[in-house]
Structure formats: structure tokens, C-alpha cells
Structure 1
Amino acid sequence: MAEASTHSVQPPPGSQTGHSASKAALAVGAIGIVFGDIGTSPLYAFRETFVGPHPLALDTAHVLGVISLIFWSMTLVVAIQYVTILMRADNKGQGGSLALVALISSHISGKKYGWVAVLLGVFATSLFYGDSMITPAISVLSAVEGLTVVDEGLSDYVIPIALVLLIFLFVLQKRGTAKVGALFAPVMIVYFTVIASMGAWQIFQTPDILWALNPYYAVNFFILDGFTAFLALGSVVLAVTGSEALYSDMGHFGRGPMRLSWFGFVMPCLLLNYFGQGAMIIGLPNELAVEAIQSPFFFLASEEWRLPLVFLATFATFIASQAVISGAFSITHQAMQMGYIPRLSIRHTSETEGGQIYIPIVNWALMIAVIVLVLTFQNSSNLASAYGIAVTGAVTIDTLLMAVLLVGVWKWKWWYAAPVVLLFLIVDGAYFAANLAKVPDGGWFPLLVGAVAFTLLTTWARGRKLMRERMSEVALPMEIFAKSAKNSATRVPGTAIFMASAKGGVPSALLHNIKHNKVLHERVVILTVEIAEIPYVDPEARCEYHDLGDGFFRAVLHYGFMEGTDVPEGLKKMDRCGGEFDMMQTSFFLSRQTLLPSDKPGMPIWREKIFAWMLRNSATAMEFFRLPTNRVVELGSQVRI
């Protein structure tokens, strides 16, 4: 991880203090961007509890039990744990597992259990990648499957249509989402209003479903079915998938607007729809209920409105999938800046919004995985068997991190923190344990993706640390080098900037330049880009420099982990470093390391080979730091780790 740095912070785009829009306007925007994932769960969550791998009897007691569980799960996990408690734990406006880890690390650095919190956050991030593959597949498939409710003869067209929509979604990413995003909020507001209206009509016809507000019916559900009811939790939890994403997206809109949109609009609409689905089932004769439970969401609409509902739901799932993909880009960028992922090629798709980015390798890897999932699992019910375990795993980890947060950061007394953490651990742990039963039926997929991602992330962080240590061991102090080199090489006009990963010692590129070219530029700048454990660094604190004398300077550019690293732009404000930088008179010298086998490797040889592969395939510093292509010289060096 990059060294921590304490700077004042520029409010991120969309934060309550850094955004000019009103709280109501931000709340409306959040409805379109943030709540798509959890908002489309009514398409399959209630259905799966009755027709999934552990089907339940279709009677009033079970329907009331399931609806009661959904209500209290949404209340405890989403409304209280995430929206009320964890949204208070923002790292300078940003949320999510990595931001939470950065916040915790800044307060407990040096303590024995600090590394455990970091590993938990990295694993939660790893699980997110499995979730981001399954979400587009199950969401779009479940919406397109609504066509079979309209006409059973259309069943053969479900997979081809879903694949075309999904491929189009991923192809669209490179163009950016600003224009499409303008449609998101109106469409999602219409969607939520429609599903709430359909549910309210059914509740009006069968008001007995409101008894499900009483937690007795959730408890009675377990009394009736015991272990089968416990396994049903694996399907009930689908109603709260997307809760971790709410926390991760907090930085885009701010805590207040997101709470307003959740409590004031989204949560009531979702609950009305779930209660409406339950009311419809207990209000129908048994033979019709058996048919309706196959797709209760679409059966809420009368026949003439089912096709328009399919189109609306498909558009909503398209938006939900878009948000998840954008989230994958964002979390990858955070992990990259914090030193867990090698440099990847990043394209900025907006000239005004720095957060709108496109990472080609992540986009195409997700697309291939989604296509494979659709072709392998064939329908949303099968995909539901793989869905949930990654989400519940991440939620459980967030609960453990919350325990560290309450005691280590907020300084709660343990007797206050223990009951709160224990309550959520019981709830989240039960959901995670129930989802473990899905492992043989597809739950292994997100766990496998998470394990692979965790291995890659930790291998890169460990290898990068070892490589820096080896390089610093043999590094010559810059002050000594500057004094000895000023008379031993010819000085030539212009500026040479040598990029260095560490703030101490002489970069290998500078040593190689002296050795082979035997010249030094009039101005030599050793430049380090340092990523702080805060999302945004105050522009006034961006630049740091030290004059070493004789035309040598050491400079540091500070960035937050949510910011792009545009070195030429940063240099424009570093005029104190021997004058302004003219890019046409400036050359950038980069070091590219080649790993050699070590007699005493710092990590297992298989991990060393993985690290070497990641190093070879990482984007060049020229791309990552946006250096002018015709002003870059790259010099190689060899390192043993």
C-alpha cells in the first residue's frame, strides 16, 4: 500500500459539502444510479424461496413467514446496519470496504490486529468481483424471462435476447455513461412507482398480508420448518443484495441524500411490492397460486400490461447492471491506487467528471464471465443458486470491520459495541451459513472468483513491498550522488524527470543514464507519486519539493486513492521546483524492472511467478501517469525478490 499521508481534503464530487445540487436533487440522482441492484431483486427473491432448490409449501403461514423475514432483513441489514450505522463511517466522504479499511488503518496502524482488518477488507473486495459477474446475468435474465409469462412460446428466445442485451451493455461502456445516465433517474422512478402501485393494489385486496409486519411470523416460520427454513434464508437474502453497493456508492451523492431516497422512496416501494406479491399468492386459489409463484412479479400486472412491464423491468435491470460494472471499475481503481492491483490502462470517459472511467481489461473480463454464466446456468433460478454467497460474505466481513471501527476508531466501550456487533453477526452470519448450502449448486463460482482475486491482490501487494525493500537496500543516497555526479558528467540543456517509487535513494534509471549516456540535464528532478489513504487531496497540498542543490530536486505529487494521476497536469503547479516545466524541453526517464530468481525468495516460488507475470503485463507508467508519449525514455533493471 502507498505510504499514508495526512493532507486536507477536497470534497469529492457529489458529497454533501462538495456538490452544488440540492439534497433533493441528489436524492433523485441516487435513485437512478445507486439503487438499481437492490431495486430489481423483487424479480426473483420472493419466487426463489418457494421454487428454488429448497421449495416451501405454498400456504398462508409460509408466505407470511417469508414476507416477514424479507421485511425484517431489509430493516436490520440495509436500513439499520448500512444506511444508519456504516454510512457514518465515511473516509472523507467515501464508503465501501477499501475506504473503511483505509479509515480503520489510519487509526490503528501499528496495532497487532491491524493486518487482519486489511486482509478482511481485501477479501471483501475480492468477493465483489464474483458478485459483479453474477448480478448482470441474473438481473437481465430474470427480466427477459418475463416474456414467457406473456407467451410461453417465446421461451427459446430468452437466452439469445439476454445475451444481445448484455453484450450491448459491455460494448457501451467505452463510450461513457453520462448521456445514458441522464435517463437513469426518470426510468427508475417510474419503475419503483409502478412496482409499488401493483403491490399496493394487491395489499388493498388482501390486507391480511400486513400481519407479516409482526416478527412472530418470521419466528413461526422456523418453528414450522426448522432446517428447511434455515436453508430458505439463502433465497430470502436475495431481497437485500445490493446493500454493500449502497455503502460503496456513498461518495457519489453523500450520506444525507442517499438516506432520504432510501427511507423516503426506495424502501417503501420495495416493501409494497414484496407484500403485494405475498398478498397475491395467499389471495389466489391454490392451482392459480402454483402457476403465479413461477413468476409472481409479472403476475402482479394484468395480462395487457405484462409486456410493457417486461420492457420496463428489462430497462431497470440494464441500469442495475450498469451500476455494478461502473462499481467494478471504481473498486479496481481504488485497489490500484492503494497498491493491491498493478497499473492498468484507464480511460476517462468524461471531461468534467473524474470518477467516470473505463478499464478495458476489467470490462471484457466481466463480459466473458457473464456470457459463460448465462450459457452455463441457462435461467435466473439456476443463477440464484450461485448468487448471494459473495454478497453475504462481504456483508459479514463488513460487520467484523464494523466491530473494529466501533472500538478502535469511535472508541465505544466494549459493553456497548458487543451487543450491536453480536446482533448483526448473528443475522449476517446466518445468511452466510445458509448460502454455504449453495456451494455445490453454483455457489462455488463467486467463491472461486473471490479466491483468485484475493490471491492476485495480496500477491501484488506483497511482491511490490519486497521489490521496494530490495531496491532500497542497494539505493545510493541522493545527496551523495548529487555531489559526486555534478562534475563527472556533461550537463546538457533541458529538464530530466526520473520517476521513482520511493522517496529515498537514487532511481536505477538515473544510474543507468549516467553509466551509458554520461550526461546530466541542467535540471534533474526525482519525482515520486504518492497515494494517500484518503480519497481526495487538497490541490494546495498536491506538490512537495526539496532543492538538493546543483540543479537536483526531489519532488512528490500527492493524490487521493479516488483521483487520477495526471503527472503533467500536476507539474504545471510545481513552478517552485527550479521554474516552470515546459513539456517540449522535458524528458521523462522510467525504470522497468525484470525479476530474477532469488536464492532466498521472499514468498513462495508460485506466488513469485504470479507477481512476475502481473509485473510484465501491467500498464506502463507512461500510460498510468499520462506522460507525453514522445518525451519518455525507458531503462531496464533487474531485481531479485
Structure 2
Amino acid sequence: MQVHNNKAMAGITLAALGVVYGDIGTSPLYTLKECFSGHYGLLPTHDNVLGVLSLVFWELILVVSIKYLAFVLRADNRGEGGILTLMALSKRKVRGTPGWLLMILGIMGAGFFYGEVIITPAMSVLSAVEGLEVITPTFTPYILPISLSVLSGLFLIQKHGTARVGTLFGPVMGIWFLTLATLGVGGIMDNPEVLGALNPVWGVRFMLDNGMIAFLTLGSVVLAITGTEALYADMGHFGKSPIRRAWFALVLPALVLNYFGQGALILAEPAAVKNPFFNLAPDWALYPLVGLATFATVIASQAVISGVFSLTRQAVQLGYIPRLSILHTSEKEIGQIYIPMINWALLAAVIIVVVAFGSSSNLAAAYGIAVTGTMVITTLLAATVARRNWRWPLWAVAPATALFLFIDVPLFSANIHKITAGGWLPLVIGAVMFILMTTWKRGRSLLAERLDEQAIPLDGFIENMEAYPPTRVAGTAVFMTSSSHGVPHAMLHNLKHNKVLHERVVLLTIRTKDEPYVEPEERLTITRLSDSFWQVLADYGYKETPDVNAILAQCEAQGLAFEVMDTSFFLSRETLISTDRPGMARWREKLFVGMSRNALKATDFFQIPTNRVVELGAQVEL
């Protein structure tokens, strides 16, 4: 039994390599190159090289090993992680203005992630393909077309799912990390004094001696930890233990060895600083190394794309984004989803970014500000969870938070100077997503308020219908409603225009909880309100997709049977009108109206049989 468990753990750990560590695992392609690229005027002297290596090493230890793996991974919501999960956890014990501020932080973090996901594939693939320049400058004109071809192919295969290709991700990334370590060991053996950078004194001395130049260099040093959010976001797929095992057993040693090997090469041959990663390899290995690096960056990009699909579904379910078409690409893996609108929008954005920036060095200016912004937000939300949810004493929370912010804030500040050189891109994307998400959330809340103003209490209405029944017709009517205490508007319109009521009426409300999954036995709450009225409350987690057919089947198992061909579904389709009433600014009301018009129809999102649906319109003034 123990042998079987060990094999299973080894398999999960290997799989985690491909998904969790793809982004951070390809960082050696460009991190040291950007630190000494000439943007900051930093010369590759002995002290500077050891200083930068020391900063990179302790960044990996303090940020990844201690902050994320030891601290943030503790904040799980029934095994699930991610910035929206952290926001949901932090809000549980907080109400009023502090709770609202935590929600804003969570939405900002999600917005930063959308900005990062556009830059990551472009940056990673470009940096890998640029290895061809090291072989011969003849390849230079072809780097952009090759990169665009690889990226286009990556997005085109998304609709088919990644289950088959995904089985290769772990082994390929295992080979990648072993290659990193091998290349690094070769460089270190030629110049072992580089191991002195393990001493943090070199990093401190570098910061003190170089002043502003050292501070600005932090903007490139942070490239070594891009992808750290994946450690937390992918916790639900693999669990904490495999993620931690993969990091300490292979990823961390391989990264450190490769960075130090590059540093040793730069000390011996300062000219190699133009592309120290590929210059570290012997000439005969360059072609296969470029191929392996390109495959590794595709895997890293795939992990980020899958992450944004997952984040978008969470945002839809939690009410921050309008309903979108969400397709499942695997019958076995619930996390394997595809969102066409997001996929094509990402492809268009990535192509524009690659063409506009032209090289990984130019893109590096835009990279980092979104990553570090999310890091600061993660620290603040995780500290709230530790204090309020875990009941940690203030003397334990305060020093840990101060330590993490002491690292996060300078890294974020060092990236601010990049705004004019391309850093504006993730900020603009993040700001747009923030406006869209907050507008939709506030708009839905405002719409619910307006509908409640016009709502008739359910209890009195049912008593009146039973005492003075209108004409009753055969069959069952299912009224979809967001309110569990008011009469659905669709029912009122049906009575007003058709002057009939079905012999059995079911009021169905689908709710999303701040948990990733809801146990099947806890899904439904069925209440008989009168002889002919029933109420069904269906609860779903934010990582689940509601399915009305499945709800009806579960109702039948609990004694409330449905004959689909004898059942009609009534939905209210609101026509929204922007007004001067207090609630939202007019421009946001108009934006909300536009988003509502383009949202996926409820019949498609909830998978309601389309030939059994009746939609009744209603005008609502915002």
C-alpha cells in the first residue's frame, strides 16, 4: 500500500512540474540577461554579478519557499487556491468597509493577472526562439514569424483541450529542469567562486554600493519569480505536498544551479552577458536546447492560459463577469475547460504585443509590474486570513507581514519606472478589467435592489393563489428567480397576460457559494410551500457549472419528479434603462447595460432545454 501511495505521489509531483512550475522554470532564459542588458548601466563586474546572484537566490528562498510554500499555501478553501479564493476567505470574517476594501484588492489582483497572462506567453516564447540568434545572426529576421506561429498554434489547439498533450508536460519539464541543472553545474565547475553569492552579504553590499542603479535593477531581478501565483492557484489540482516536493527536490536546485552557472560564465566571459543562458551550452547542443526551451515556454504559456480560464469561470460564478460560454474539454477532469471568447481575445492581444514590442528585452519592460502588484495584494489578503480566520496572534502576523511587504513593496516600486517603457500595458489591462468587474458586480446588486422594490412578498401571494386560484392548466412551470422571498417577475407577467397558472409551480433559485465545490448531498434544499407551490434552492461552488437538467434529476431522487416534455421553464428577460436615479454613474450604467446585452443567455449558461423555455420581458430603470 505504501509503495502504491509513493508511486501515486511521484506521479502527481511530476505532473505538478509541468503545470505549476512552467513559468518560473523558464525564467533563466531572460532574468540575468535583463539585469545586465544595459538598461540600467550595470556593468558585469565581479561584485555586481555576485550581488545580483545573491538577490536572485534569496528572492527564491524568501518569496517562493517561505512566503508562498510555507505561508500562503495554508490559505486553502477546501483545497482550492488563487487570488479570488483568497479574497473570499479574507471576507468571511470581515464586514462593512474593511470587507469592501478586501473585495477591491481581490479584484485588483485578478485584473493584474489578466495583464500578466497576455505578456507571459509572448515573453517566454520570444526569449526561447531568440536562442537561434546565438547560433547564427542569419535567423534574426525569422524570430518574430516563428514566435507568432508557435503562439498561434498554442491558442488554436485550446478548443481540443490539453488532456492528451498534458501527459507530456511533466516529463518534458522534468527533462528541462535536469538540463538547467546540468548546464549550471558545468559553468560553476569552471568558476566555483561564484558560490560565494549564497552569502546574503553580497546582495546587501550590492544594494548599498550601487544606490539607485541597484534599486532599478530589482525590476529585472523580480523576473526570477514570475509565476509564483501559479503555486497557489494550482493547489486544487495537485495539493500542497506535491507542489512543495517538486520545488525543493528539483525546481529550486535546478534554478539556483543554472543562475549560478550563468553568473560564472559572465565572470569568465563578460561578452556572454548578451544571452548567458544559451551561451552556457556547447555549440553542438544549441539546436536541441532551443527546441527544448521553446517546448518548455509553450508549456509555461499553457499553464497560464488554463489559469485564466479557471479564474474567469470563478469570476463568472461569483458575479464579477457576465455569463460566458464555458466548454468542458474532458469528461474526467472537471478543471479542463475552454472559454472561446477569452481564448480569441488573448490570441489577438498576444499577437499585437509581440508585433508591437518585437523582442523579449522590450517586453521585459512591461513584465514585472503586474507580478509584483499581485504579490503585494496576496500578502495583505493572506495576512487578513491569518489574523481573522486562523486566529493567529498579532505578534505572529505583524512581523511576517512586515517581512513580506519589506520584499514585495521595493520590488513593486522598482518596476514603477517601467511604466513609460511598456509597464503601462499590464496596468491598462488591469484597470480595464477592474472597471468591468466592479461595474458588473455593482450593476447586478443595483438590479437586484430595483427588482426587490417592485417585488411582492411570496408568502402572501401563494396564500392568495391557493384561496382564489386563477385558471390552472396541466403540467409543471419552473420559474427561474434570483430571489427566494419575492414573487418572480416572469410569474406576474404570465398571470397578467395569459391569466393562467400551471397545476404545479416550482420556484428555482441557483446560488453560488464562496466555496469551490458543494457536496452533491448538500446541493438542493426542497421546500413545499403549499399544495401546488414548491421552492428549490440549488447551491453551486464557484468552480462548478450549474446544470438545470442535473438539478431536475436530483430533485426526482428526492421525491420531486419532473416530466421534461410536460415542464415549461419561465425566465424574465430584463430590458435595462439608464436613469439619473442614485446608484451608479451614468457612464457605468450604460456600460452595465451593454455588458448585459452581450452576456450569454441564461438558457445556454444553465443548460436549460431550449424548446421548453418561455421568456417574458420586463423593463427595469437603473
Q: Shorter-chain-normalised TM-score: which range? A: over 0.9
Corresponding position of 2:446: 466
Q: C-alpha displacement at 1:52, in angstroms?
A: 5.0
Q: C-alpha displacement at 1:111, in angstroms?
A: 4.9
Corresponding position of 2:288: 308
Backbone CA RMSD of aligned residues: 1.4
One-letter amino acid of the counterpart of residue 58, structure 2: W
Greater mean deviation of Cα atoms: 433-442 or 23-32: 23-32
Q: Deviations over 1:131-150 (max 9, x none)?
A: 00000000011111111111
Corresponding position of 1:211: 196
Corresponding position of 1:281: 266
Q: Deviations over 1:388-428 (max 9, x none)?
A: 00000000111111221222222222222211111111110
Instruction: Give the whole-Å Cα distance in 1 for the aligned partners of 2:390 and 2:520.
Output: 29
One-letter amino acid of the counterpart of residue 604, structure 1: A
**Pairing partner for 2:513 from 521, 532, 540:** 532
Structure 2 residue matching 1:579: 3-state secondary structure: coil
Is the Cα contact below 8 Å between 1:53 and 1:385 reproduced in 2? no
Is the Cα contact below 8 Å between 2:321 and 2:440 reproduced in 1? yes
Q: Which ranges of 4 or more aligned residues in structure 1 deviate by more than 4 Å?
A: none
Task: Indicate yes or no: 2:583 matched with 1:583.
Answer: no
One-letter amino acid of the counterpart of residue 498, structure 2: N
**Pairing partner for 2:154 from 156, 160, 169:** 169
Q: Please list, as runs of the form range in 1=range in 2, the aligned pairs for 1:623-638 lying within 5 A after superposition.
A: 623-638=604-619
Structure 2 residue matching 1:572: 3-state secondary structure: helix
Q: C-alpha displacement at 1:279, in angstroms?
A: 1.0
Instruction: Give the whole-Å Cα distance in 2 for the aligned partners of 1:372 and 1:335.
Output: 25
Q: Deviations over 1:355-413 (max 9, x none)?
A: 11111111111111100000000000000000000000000111111221222222222
Corresponding position of 2:58: 72
One-letter amino acid of the counterpart of residue 344, structure 2: W
**Pairing partner for 2:237 from 216, 235, 252:** 252
Q: Deviations over 1:234-270 (max 9, x none)?
A: 0000000001121111111001111111111111111
After superposition, the Cα gap between the structure-2 partners of 1:20 and 1:344, relative to the gap in structure 1 and judged at 3 Å, is farther
After superposition, the Cα gap between the structure-2 partners of 1:52 and 1:140, relative to the gap in structure 1 and judged at 3 Å, is farther
After superposition, the Cα gap between the structure-2 partners of 1:576 and 1:515, relative to the gap in structure 1 and judged at 3 Å, is farther
Is the Cα contact below 8 Å between 2:578 and 2:590 reproduced in 1? no
Corresponding position of 2:415: 435
Task: Indicate yes or no: 2:43 matched with 1:63.
Answer: no
Corresponding position of 1:127: 112
Task: Indicate yes or no: 2:391 matched with 1:405.
Answer: no
Is the Cα contact below 8 Å between 1:509 and 1:591 reproduced in 2? yes
After superposition, the Cα gap between the structure-2 partners of 1:23 and 1:148, relative to the gap in structure 1 and judged at 3 Å, is same
Is the Cα contact below 8 Å between 1:590 and 1:632 reproduced in 2? yes
Is the Cα contact below 8 Å between 2:36 and 2:273 reproduced in 1? yes
One-letter amino acid of the counterpart of residue 434, structure 2: F
Task: Indicate yes or no: 2:21 matched with 1:40.
Answer: no
Corresponding position of 2:277: 297
Q: Please list, as runs of the form range in 1=range in 2, the aligned pairs for 1:94-173 lying within 5 A after superposition.
A: 94-108=80-94, 110-173=95-158
**Pairing partner for 1:319 from 293, 299, 303:** 299
Instruction: Give the whole-Å Cα distance in 2 for the aligned partners of 1:424 and 1:638.
Output: 50
TM-score, length-scaled by structure 2: 0.97
Corresponding position of 2:358: 378
Identity %: 53
Task: Indicate yes or no: 2:528 matched with 1:542.
Answer: no
Is the Cα contact below 8 Å between 2:80 and 2:236 reproduced in 1? yes
Is the Cα contact below 8 Å between 2:476 and 2:505 reproduced in 1? yes
Q: Please list, as runs of the form range in 1=range in 2, the aligned pairs for 1:549-564 lying within 5 A after superposition.
A: 549-564=530-545
Task: Indicate yes or no: 2:430 matched with 1:450.
Answer: yes
Q: C-alpha displacement at 1:489, in angstroms?
A: 2.7
Structure 2 residue matching 1:22: 3-state secondary structure: helix
Is the Cα contact below 8 Å between 1:40 and 1:139 reproduced in 2? yes
Instruction: Give the whole-Å Cα distance in 2 for the aligned partners of 1:301 and 1:30.
Output: 27
One-letter amino acid of the counterpart of residue 84, structure 2: L
TM-score, length-scaled by structure 1: 0.94
One-letter amino acid of the counterpart of residue 230, structure 1: F
Q: Deviations over 1:571-602 (max 9, x none)?
A: 21112776322322222111111112334131
Is the Cα contact below 8 Å between 2:579 and 2:586 reproduced in 1? no
Question: Any gaps of 5 or more consecutive residues in structure 1?
Answer: 1-18
Q: C-alpha displacement at 1:518, in angstroms?
A: 2.0
Corresponding position of 2:587: 606
Q: C-alpha displacement at 1:482, in angstroms?
A: 2.3
Matched residue pairs, number? 617
Q: C-alpha displacement at 1:20, in angstroms?
A: 11
Corresponding position of 2:573: 592
Q: Deviations over 1:212-233 (max 9, x none)?
A: 0000100111122110000000
Corresponding position of 1:504: 485
Task: Indicate yes or no: 2:14 matched with 1:28.
Answer: yes
Q: C-alpha displacement at 1:472, in angstroms?
A: 1.2
Instruction: Give the whole-Å Cα distance in 2 for the aligned partners of 1:510 and 1:577.
Output: 25
**Pairing partner for 2:330 from 333, 350, 356:** 350
